[in-house]
Chain A
Amino acid sequence: MADEFTPTWEEVAHRYGRKIYNFAYRLTGNPDDAADLLQEVLIRVRKGLASYHPGSFEGWLWRITRNAFLDGVRKKQRRPEWALPEGDHHALGSSPSPDDVLASVRLSDDVQAALLKLPYDFREAVVLCDVVGLTYDEIAEATDVPVGTVRSRIHRGRKLLRGMLTWPV
Protein backbone atom coordinates (compact mmCIF):
# COMPACT_ATOMS: atom_id res chain seq x y z
CA MET A 1 0.00 0.00 0.00
CA ALA A 2 1.41 3.38 -0.94
CA ASP A 3 2.32 5.65 1.90
CA GLU A 4 1.42 9.29 1.49
CA PHE A 5 4.17 10.61 3.73
CA THR A 6 7.84 10.10 4.25
CA PRO A 7 8.69 9.10 7.81
CA THR A 8 11.70 10.52 9.60
CA TRP A 9 14.76 8.43 10.20
CA GLU A 10 13.90 8.11 13.90
CA GLU A 11 10.40 6.92 13.03
CA VAL A 12 11.81 4.29 10.71
CA ALA A 13 14.21 3.14 13.41
CA HIS A 14 11.44 2.74 15.96
CA ARG A 15 8.80 1.35 13.67
CA TYR A 16 10.95 -1.13 11.78
CA GLY A 17 14.10 -1.55 13.90
CA ARG A 18 12.88 -4.66 15.60
CA LYS A 19 11.69 -6.27 12.37
CA ILE A 20 14.97 -5.54 10.61
CA TYR A 21 16.92 -6.89 13.58
CA ASN A 22 14.85 -10.07 13.69
CA PHE A 23 15.07 -10.48 9.92
CA ALA A 24 18.86 -10.52 10.09
CA TYR A 25 18.93 -12.62 13.22
CA ARG A 26 16.79 -15.33 11.71
CA LEU A 27 18.80 -15.32 8.51
CA THR A 28 22.14 -15.62 10.30
CA GLY A 29 21.40 -16.95 13.79
CA ASN A 30 23.84 -14.34 15.01
CA PRO A 31 23.12 -11.25 17.16
CA ASP A 32 26.28 -9.44 16.03
CA ASP A 33 25.29 -9.77 12.39
CA ALA A 34 21.77 -8.64 13.24
CA ALA A 35 23.11 -5.54 15.02
CA ASP A 36 25.48 -4.80 12.13
CA LEU A 37 22.66 -5.04 9.65
CA LEU A 38 20.33 -2.81 11.62
CA GLN A 39 23.00 -0.13 11.88
CA GLU A 40 23.82 -0.38 8.22
CA VAL A 41 20.17 -0.21 7.19
CA LEU A 42 19.50 2.81 9.40
CA ILE A 43 22.51 4.58 7.91
CA ARG A 44 21.32 3.81 4.39
CA VAL A 45 17.77 4.85 5.23
CA ARG A 46 19.03 8.10 6.69
CA LYS A 47 20.97 8.85 3.52
CA GLY A 48 18.19 7.61 1.26
CA LEU A 49 15.26 9.42 2.87
CA ALA A 50 16.43 12.70 1.37
CA SER A 51 15.84 11.37 -2.13
CA TYR A 52 12.93 9.07 -1.28
CA HIS A 53 9.76 9.75 -3.21
CA PRO A 54 6.56 8.74 -1.42
CA GLY A 55 5.47 5.38 -2.74
CA SER A 56 5.63 1.89 -1.34
CA PHE A 57 7.71 2.65 1.71
CA GLU A 58 7.81 -0.98 2.86
CA GLY A 59 9.03 -2.13 -0.52
CA TRP A 60 11.73 0.55 -0.50
CA LEU A 61 12.80 -0.23 3.05
CA TRP A 62 12.99 -3.98 2.57
CA ARG A 63 14.91 -3.61 -0.66
CA ILE A 64 17.46 -1.53 1.24
CA THR A 65 17.48 -4.06 4.05
CA ARG A 66 17.98 -7.00 1.75
CA ASN A 67 20.71 -5.27 -0.25
CA ALA A 68 22.51 -4.27 2.95
CA PHE A 69 22.29 -7.85 4.17
CA LEU A 70 23.65 -9.29 0.92
CA ASP A 71 26.44 -6.67 0.84
CA GLY A 72 27.37 -7.77 4.35
CA VAL A 73 27.45 -11.41 3.27
CA ARG A 74 29.62 -10.53 0.27
CA LYS A 75 32.05 -8.62 2.48
CA LYS A 76 32.39 -11.64 4.70
CA GLN A 77 32.98 -13.85 1.69
CA ARG A 78 36.04 -11.73 0.99
CA ARG A 79 37.20 -12.28 4.54
CA PRO A 80 37.30 -16.03 5.00
CA GLU A 81 38.25 -15.81 8.67
CA TRP A 82 34.65 -14.82 9.35
CA ALA A 83 32.21 -17.70 9.33
CA LEU A 84 29.45 -17.42 6.75
CA PRO A 85 25.88 -18.19 7.50
CA GLU A 86 25.54 -21.83 6.59
CA GLY A 87 23.01 -21.43 3.82
CA ASP A 88 25.28 -19.14 1.88
CA HIS A 89 27.98 -21.74 1.42
CA HIS A 90 26.11 -23.20 -1.48
CA ALA A 91 26.35 -19.88 -3.28
CA LEU A 92 30.12 -20.23 -3.10
CA GLY A 93 30.04 -23.70 -4.53
CA SER A 94 31.44 -25.27 -1.39
CA SER A 95 29.68 -27.98 0.53
CA PRO A 96 30.14 -27.71 4.28
CA SER A 97 30.41 -30.86 6.32
CA PRO A 98 27.66 -31.56 8.84
CA ASP A 99 30.13 -30.54 11.54
CA ASP A 100 30.66 -27.17 9.89
CA VAL A 101 26.94 -26.73 9.66
CA LEU A 102 26.53 -27.49 13.33
CA ALA A 103 29.41 -25.22 14.26
CA SER A 104 27.78 -22.29 12.50
CA VAL A 105 24.61 -22.66 14.48
CA ARG A 106 24.84 -20.58 17.60
CA LEU A 107 21.39 -21.21 18.90
CA SER A 108 20.39 -24.49 20.39
CA ASP A 109 17.07 -23.89 18.74
CA ASP A 110 16.01 -26.59 16.30
CA VAL A 111 13.90 -24.26 14.23
CA GLN A 112 16.62 -21.64 13.94
CA ALA A 113 19.11 -24.35 13.05
CA ALA A 114 16.78 -25.72 10.40
CA LEU A 115 16.25 -22.24 8.95
CA LEU A 116 20.00 -21.80 8.63
CA LYS A 117 20.20 -24.99 6.59
CA LEU A 118 17.83 -23.68 3.94
CA PRO A 119 19.30 -22.33 0.70
CA TYR A 120 19.46 -18.56 0.97
CA ASP A 121 16.59 -17.73 -1.42
CA PHE A 122 14.18 -20.03 0.41
CA ARG A 123 15.33 -18.89 3.85
CA GLU A 124 14.93 -15.25 2.88
CA ALA A 125 11.42 -15.80 1.51
CA VAL A 126 10.30 -17.75 4.57
CA VAL A 127 11.78 -15.21 6.98
CA LEU A 128 10.25 -12.24 5.15
CA CYS A 129 6.89 -14.01 5.18
CA ASP A 130 6.77 -15.64 8.60
CA VAL A 131 9.13 -13.55 10.73
CA VAL A 132 8.76 -10.10 9.19
CA GLY A 133 5.14 -10.62 8.10
CA LEU A 134 5.33 -9.22 4.55
CA THR A 135 2.78 -10.15 1.90
CA TYR A 136 3.89 -12.03 -1.21
CA ASP A 137 3.65 -8.80 -3.21
CA GLU A 138 5.89 -6.99 -0.76
CA ILE A 139 8.40 -9.84 -0.77
CA ALA A 140 8.40 -9.82 -4.57
CA GLU A 141 9.13 -6.09 -4.53
CA ALA A 142 11.86 -6.40 -1.90
CA THR A 143 13.61 -9.33 -3.56
CA ASP A 144 12.97 -8.23 -7.15
CA VAL A 145 11.41 -11.49 -8.35
CA PRO A 146 7.88 -12.29 -9.60
CA VAL A 147 5.18 -13.15 -7.07
CA GLY A 148 5.03 -16.69 -8.47
CA THR A 149 8.67 -17.16 -7.58
CA VAL A 150 8.01 -15.90 -4.07
CA ARG A 151 5.18 -18.38 -3.69
CA SER A 152 7.34 -21.21 -4.91
CA ARG A 153 10.30 -20.26 -2.68
CA ILE A 154 8.15 -20.03 0.43
CA HIS A 155 6.61 -23.40 -0.24
CA ARG A 156 9.90 -25.08 -1.04
CA GLY A 157 11.44 -23.58 2.07
CA ARG A 158 8.60 -24.89 4.22
CA LYS A 159 8.80 -28.26 2.56
CA LEU A 160 12.50 -28.52 3.39
CA LEU A 161 11.82 -27.41 6.96
CA ARG A 162 9.17 -30.06 7.22
CA GLY A 163 11.77 -32.66 6.31
CA MET A 164 14.22 -31.37 8.90
CA LEU A 165 11.90 -31.00 11.84
CA THR A 166 9.85 -33.64 13.56
CA TRP A 167 6.35 -32.89 14.62
CA PRO A 168 4.31 -34.23 17.48
CA VAL A 169 1.50 -36.41 16.12
Chain B
Amino acid sequence: MARLTPNPDARGELFSAYLDGELSPDEVALVVAAIDGDEAAVEEFRALQAVRRTVRMLPSLEVPDALLPDGHLGALLSAYLDGELTVFEHKRVTGHLVACTECRSELHELDRARIAVRSLPGAEPTTQTEVAAVPRDRRWRRVVAGGLAAAAAVTVFVVLAGGGGEQPVLVLEDLANRHAARASAEPGFAVQPTGLEVSSP
Protein backbone atom coordinates (compact mmCIF):
# COMPACT_ATOMS: atom_id res chain seq x y z
CA MET B 1 0.00 0.00 0.00
CA ALA B 2 1.20 3.51 -0.76
CA ARG B 3 2.47 5.58 2.09
CA LEU B 4 1.21 9.04 2.87
CA THR B 5 3.77 11.59 1.82
CA PRO B 6 4.92 14.11 4.43
CA ASN B 7 4.22 16.91 1.90
CA PRO B 8 1.43 18.88 3.62
CA ASP B 9 -0.16 19.85 0.30
CA ALA B 10 -0.43 16.22 -0.76
CA ARG B 11 -1.89 15.34 2.62
CA GLY B 12 -4.33 18.24 2.46
CA GLU B 13 -5.32 17.22 -1.04
CA LEU B 14 -6.17 13.76 0.21
CA PHE B 15 -8.16 15.20 3.11
CA SER B 16 -10.04 17.49 0.77
CA ALA B 17 -10.82 14.70 -1.68
CA TYR B 18 -11.80 12.44 1.21
CA LEU B 19 -14.35 15.01 2.36
CA ASP B 20 -15.77 15.03 -1.16
CA GLY B 21 -15.99 11.23 -1.26
CA GLU B 22 -13.53 11.12 -4.14
CA LEU B 23 -10.93 8.67 -2.79
CA SER B 24 -10.25 5.03 -3.52
CA PRO B 25 -10.48 2.62 -0.55
CA ASP B 26 -6.66 2.56 -0.35
CA GLU B 27 -6.48 6.31 -0.13
CA VAL B 28 -9.24 6.39 2.48
CA ALA B 29 -7.14 4.04 4.60
CA LEU B 30 -4.23 6.46 4.27
CA VAL B 31 -6.37 9.35 5.46
CA VAL B 32 -7.65 7.43 8.45
CA ALA B 33 -4.11 6.40 9.37
CA ALA B 34 -2.83 9.96 8.97
CA ILE B 35 -5.45 11.47 11.23
CA ASP B 36 -4.98 8.87 13.92
CA GLY B 37 -2.89 10.36 16.72
CA ASP B 38 -1.51 13.33 14.75
CA GLU B 39 -2.81 16.59 16.24
CA ALA B 40 -1.58 18.75 13.36
CA ALA B 41 -3.24 16.46 10.83
CA VAL B 42 -6.48 16.51 12.79
CA GLU B 43 -6.38 20.29 12.90
CA GLU B 44 -5.78 20.52 9.16
CA PHE B 45 -8.57 18.05 8.48
CA ARG B 46 -11.01 19.99 10.63
CA ALA B 47 -10.06 23.28 9.04
CA LEU B 48 -10.67 21.91 5.53
CA GLN B 49 -13.92 20.40 6.71
CA ALA B 50 -15.01 23.80 8.04
CA VAL B 51 -14.09 25.58 4.81
CA ARG B 52 -15.96 23.04 2.73
CA ARG B 53 -19.03 23.20 4.94
CA THR B 54 -19.02 26.99 4.93
CA VAL B 55 -18.90 27.28 1.13
CA ARG B 56 -21.60 24.63 0.83
CA MET B 57 -23.80 26.57 3.22
CA LEU B 58 -23.82 29.68 1.05
CA PRO B 59 -27.48 30.30 0.27
CA SER B 60 -28.74 29.12 -3.11
CA LEU B 61 -30.18 32.18 -4.82
CA GLU B 62 -33.49 32.18 -6.65
CA VAL B 63 -33.33 32.85 -10.36
CA PRO B 64 -35.31 35.98 -11.30
CA ASP B 65 -38.57 34.81 -12.93
CA ALA B 66 -38.08 36.58 -16.23
CA LEU B 67 -34.89 34.62 -16.89
CA LEU B 68 -36.62 31.28 -17.16
CA PRO B 69 -38.86 30.15 -20.02
CA ASP B 70 -42.16 30.33 -18.18
CA GLY B 71 -41.19 33.61 -16.56
CA HIS B 72 -42.74 35.59 -19.37
CA LEU B 73 -42.02 39.26 -19.64
CA GLY B 74 -45.52 40.65 -19.07
CA ALA B 75 -45.37 44.29 -18.07
CA LEU B 76 -41.74 44.55 -19.08
CA LEU B 77 -42.86 44.36 -22.72
CA SER B 78 -44.80 47.61 -22.58
CA ALA B 79 -41.99 49.29 -20.74
CA TYR B 80 -39.63 47.99 -23.43
CA LEU B 81 -41.80 49.51 -26.16
CA ASP B 82 -41.87 52.79 -24.28
CA GLY B 83 -38.11 52.80 -23.80
CA GLU B 84 -38.53 52.73 -20.04
CA LEU B 85 -36.29 49.84 -19.05
CA THR B 86 -33.11 49.98 -17.06
CA VAL B 87 -30.02 48.60 -18.72
CA PHE B 88 -30.35 45.37 -16.74
CA GLU B 89 -34.05 44.96 -17.54
CA HIS B 90 -33.32 45.67 -21.18
CA LYS B 91 -30.79 42.85 -21.30
CA ARG B 92 -33.26 40.50 -19.67
CA VAL B 93 -35.97 41.41 -22.14
CA THR B 94 -33.82 41.10 -25.26
CA GLY B 95 -32.31 37.85 -24.02
CA HIS B 96 -35.73 36.41 -23.29
CA LEU B 97 -37.24 37.61 -26.58
CA VAL B 98 -34.63 35.78 -28.60
CA ALA B 99 -35.71 32.53 -27.00
CA CYS B 100 -39.44 32.97 -26.36
CA THR B 101 -41.92 32.86 -29.24
CA GLU B 102 -44.84 33.65 -26.94
CA CYS B 103 -43.33 36.90 -25.68
CA ARG B 104 -42.25 37.88 -29.19
CA SER B 105 -45.79 37.41 -30.34
CA GLU B 106 -47.12 39.40 -27.38
CA LEU B 107 -44.62 42.17 -28.08
CA HIS B 108 -45.83 42.30 -31.64
CA GLU B 109 -49.47 42.59 -30.56
CA LEU B 110 -48.66 45.20 -27.93
CA ASP B 111 -46.73 47.28 -30.40
CA ARG B 112 -49.56 47.22 -32.92
CA ALA B 113 -51.99 48.26 -30.21
CA ARG B 114 -49.66 50.92 -28.95
CA ILE B 115 -49.16 52.42 -32.39
CA ALA B 116 -52.90 52.25 -33.04
CA VAL B 117 -53.61 54.21 -29.86
CA ARG B 118 -50.96 56.74 -30.62
CA SER B 119 -52.34 57.36 -34.08
CA LEU B 120 -55.84 58.11 -32.78
CA PRO B 121 -57.00 61.60 -33.58
CA GLY B 122 -58.47 63.90 -30.93
CA ALA B 123 -57.67 65.54 -27.64
CA GLU B 124 -56.29 63.84 -24.57
CA PRO B 125 -58.56 64.72 -21.63
CA THR B 126 -56.59 65.40 -18.49
CA THR B 127 -58.54 66.41 -15.41
CA GLN B 128 -57.15 68.19 -12.39
CA THR B 129 -57.76 65.05 -10.34
CA GLU B 130 -55.68 62.89 -12.65
CA VAL B 131 -52.83 65.34 -12.64
CA ALA B 132 -52.85 65.49 -8.87
CA ALA B 133 -52.81 61.73 -8.63
CA VAL B 134 -49.73 61.36 -10.78
CA PRO B 135 -46.59 60.84 -8.71
CA ARG B 136 -43.85 63.39 -9.13
CA ASP B 137 -41.29 60.90 -10.27
CA ARG B 138 -41.07 60.92 -14.04
CA ARG B 139 -40.68 57.16 -14.33
CA TRP B 140 -43.85 56.54 -12.39
CA ARG B 141 -45.70 59.07 -14.45
CA ARG B 142 -44.70 57.18 -17.56
CA VAL B 143 -45.72 53.89 -16.04
CA VAL B 144 -49.16 55.30 -15.23
CA ALA B 145 -49.51 56.72 -18.73
CA GLY B 146 -48.37 53.43 -20.20
CA GLY B 147 -50.95 51.55 -18.16
CA LEU B 148 -53.77 53.77 -19.39
CA ALA B 149 -52.55 53.46 -22.94
CA ALA B 150 -52.34 49.70 -22.63
CA ALA B 151 -55.89 49.50 -21.31
CA ALA B 152 -57.16 51.63 -24.17
CA ALA B 153 -55.05 49.69 -26.62
CA VAL B 154 -56.89 46.44 -26.01
CA THR B 155 -60.19 47.98 -27.08
CA VAL B 156 -58.75 49.82 -30.02
CA PHE B 157 -56.89 46.78 -31.21
CA VAL B 158 -60.05 44.71 -31.17
CA VAL B 159 -61.85 47.40 -33.16
CA LEU B 160 -59.06 47.60 -35.70
CA ALA B 161 -58.82 43.87 -36.05
CA GLY B 162 -62.56 43.58 -36.54
CA GLY B 163 -62.67 46.45 -39.01
CA GLY B 164 -60.02 44.91 -41.21
CA GLY B 165 -58.34 48.31 -41.60
CA GLU B 166 -54.70 48.81 -42.25
CA GLN B 167 -52.75 47.92 -39.16
CA PRO B 168 -49.39 49.14 -38.01
CA VAL B 169 -46.64 46.61 -38.45
CA LEU B 170 -43.96 46.05 -35.87
CA VAL B 171 -40.56 46.92 -37.17
CA LEU B 172 -37.82 46.19 -34.70
CA GLU B 173 -35.55 48.72 -36.29
CA ASP B 174 -38.07 51.30 -35.20
CA LEU B 175 -37.85 49.99 -31.67
CA ALA B 176 -34.10 50.17 -31.76
CA ASN B 177 -34.28 53.71 -33.11
CA ARG B 178 -36.67 54.76 -30.40
CA HIS B 179 -34.38 53.35 -27.76
CA ALA B 180 -31.34 54.89 -29.36
CA ALA B 181 -33.10 58.25 -29.52
CA ARG B 182 -33.95 58.11 -25.85
CA ALA B 183 -30.51 56.89 -24.99
CA SER B 184 -28.88 59.82 -26.73
CA ALA B 185 -31.38 62.29 -25.26
CA GLU B 186 -30.99 60.98 -21.71
CA PRO B 187 -27.48 59.97 -20.71
CA GLY B 188 -28.70 57.89 -17.77
CA PHE B 189 -30.89 55.83 -20.00
CA ALA B 190 -28.20 53.84 -21.72
CA VAL B 191 -30.11 51.20 -23.60
CA GLN B 192 -28.82 49.90 -26.89
CA PRO B 193 -30.91 47.12 -28.33
CA THR B 194 -28.39 45.00 -30.15
CA GLY B 195 -28.39 41.67 -31.84
CA LEU B 196 -32.09 41.13 -31.38
CA GLU B 197 -33.48 39.12 -34.21
CA VAL B 198 -37.19 38.86 -34.01
CA SER B 199 -39.19 37.92 -37.02
CA SER B 200 -42.65 39.33 -37.34
CA PRO B 201 -45.28 36.63 -37.21
Task: Give every chain A residue within 8 A of B17 (Cβ-Cβ).
Answer: 136, 151, 154-155
Pairwise interchain contact B68-A17, C-beta atoms closer than 8 A? yes
Task: Give every chain A residue within 8 A of B95 (Cβ-Cβ).
Answer: 36, 39-40, 43
- Is chain A's binding surface mostly helix, strand, loop or mixed? helix
**Cβ proximity bits B59-98 to A, threshold 8 Å, 1 near / 0 not:** 0111110011110000000000000000010011001101
Pairwise interchain contact B69-A158, C-beta atoms closer than 8 A? no
At the interface, yes or no: A13 with Cβ under 8 Å from chain B?
yes
Pairwise interchain contact A126-B47, C-beta atoms closer than 8 A? no
CA distance A34 to B20 in the complex (A): 26
* Contact among A21, A43, A151, A155 for B61, CB-based, below 8 A: A21
Cβ distance A23 to chain B, nearest Cβ, rounded Å: 11
Task: Give every chain A residue within 8 A of B63 (Cβ-Cβ).
Answer: 17-18, 21, 38
Pairwise interchain contact A35-B64, C-beta atoms closer than 8 A? yes
CA distance A36 to B91 in the complex (A): 8
Cβ distance B30 to chain A, nearest Cβ, rounded Å: 14
CA distance A138 to B92 in the complex (A): 30
Task: Give every chain A residue within 8 A of B15 (Cβ-Cβ).
Answer: 155
Pairwise interchain contact B48-A35, C-beta atoms closer than 8 A? no
> Number of contact residues on A: which range applies?
35 or more
Cβ distance A4 to chain B, nearest Cβ, rounded Å: 23
At the interface, yes or no: B9 with Cβ under 8 Å from chain A?
yes
Pairwise interchain contact A151-B55, C-beta atoms closer than 8 A? no
Task: Give every chain A residue within 8 A of B13 (Cβ-Cβ).
Answer: 151-152, 155
CA distance A119 to B91 in the complex (A): 29
Cβ distance B103 to chain A, nearest Cβ, rounded Å: 13
Contact segment of A58-66, A89-97, A159-167: A159-167
Task: Give every chain A residue within 8 A of B91 (Cβ-Cβ).
Answer: 32, 35-36, 39
Pairwise interchain contact B22-A135, C-beta atoms closer than 8 A? yes
At the interface, yes or no: B181 with Cβ under 8 Å from chain A?
no
At the interface, yes or no: B5 with Cβ under 8 Å from chain A?
no
Q: Residues of B within 8 Å of A, CB-based: how many?
A: 33
At the interface, yes or no: B193 with Cβ under 8 Å from chain A?
no
* Contact among B16, B54, B61, B88 for A165, CB-based, below 8 A: B54
User: Assuming A151-B16, A155-B13, is B68 touching A111 (CB within 8 A)?
Assistant: no
At the interface, yes or no: B99 with Cβ under 8 Å from chain A?
yes
CA distance A9 to B146 in the complex (A): 33
CA distance A131 to B9 in the complex (A): 23
Contact residues of A between 119 and 169, Cβ < 8 Å to B:
126, 129-131, 135-136, 151-152, 154-156, 158-159, 161-162, 165, 167
* Contact among B16, B61, B92, B96 for A158, CB-based, below 8 A: B16
Task: Give every chain B residue within 8 A of A109 (Cβ-Cβ).
Answer: 58
* Contact among A17, A38, A131, A155 for B16, CB-based, below 8 A: A155
* Contact among B22, B51, B98 for A161, CB-based, below 8 A: B51
Task: Give every chain B residue within 8 A of A129 (Cβ-Cβ).
Answer: 20
Cβ distance B181 to chain A, nearest Cβ, rounded Å: 23
List 15 additional contacts besides A42-B99, A135-B20; criterion CB under 8 Å.
Answer: A14-B68, A18-B60, A35-B92, A39-B67, A130-B52, A131-B60, A136-B20, A154-B17, A155-B12, A155-B17, A156-B9, A161-B51, A162-B48, A162-B51, A167-B47
